[in-house]
């Protein structure tokens, strides 16, 4: 049965949205080692792969998931935080005052 947790894998759950009730159609477990194998230091062209979709209840073959993906450059650390946005101008106008002459 495939519904158990597989360490170091990407779990894809395929679900059909229906009017009365959504239904889980099948699932795919993709080992991360396969996705990352042969990944160079820089960007590479997209890869096309196919994985067997299995029924959640029985693990029987249910179809094929065709997938394309592209890995980019390796990132070190966190992305810098975006600069703070300028304050929003107030829509409230102060009351007018009359100047006495």
Q: Give the sheet arrangement for strand 23-31, strand by strand.
A: 9-16, 23-31, 47-54, 61-69
With a pLDDT cut of 70, the percent of the chain lying above it is: 71
Quote the CA–CA distance of 16 and 34 in Å, as a whole number: 27
Q: Which residue has the higher pLDDT, 24 or 88?
A: 24
Does the pLDDT at position 82 exceed 90? no
pLDDT per position as a tens digit, 53-74: 999 889 999 999 999 988 777 6
| C-alpha torsion sign, points 57, 62, 67, 73 | positive
Does the pLDDT at position 44 exceed 80? no
- Looking at 17-60, list the stretches that DSSP marks H as alpha helix, in order from N- to C-terminal side: 32-36
The residue extents of the domains of the chain are: 9-69
Task: Please check whether residue 62 is in contact with residue 12, taking contact to mean a CB–CB distance below 8 angstroms.
Answer: no
Structure tokens that stand for 49 in this block: 């792969």
Residue 7 banded pLDDT, cuts 50, 70, 90: confident
Give the pLDDT score at 40. Answer: 65
Give the pLDDT score at 53. Answer: 95
Residue 2 banded pLDDT, cuts 50, 70, 90: very low
Phi, psi dihedrals of residue 69, rounded to the nearest 5°: -150, 160
């Amino acid at each position: 049965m495939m519904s158990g947790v597989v360490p170091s894998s990407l779990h894809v759950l395929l679900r059909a949205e229906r009017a009365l009730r959504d239904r889980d159609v099948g699932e795919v477990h993709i080992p991360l080692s396969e996705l990352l194998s042969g990944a160079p230091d820089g960007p590479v062209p997209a890869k096309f792969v196919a994985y067997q979709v299995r029924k959640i209840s029985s693990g029987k073959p249910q179809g094929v998931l065709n997938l394309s993906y592209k890995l980019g450059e390796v990132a070190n650390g966190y992305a810098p935080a975006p600069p703070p946005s300028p304050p929003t101008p107030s829509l409230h106008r102060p009351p007018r005052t009359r100047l006495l002459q």
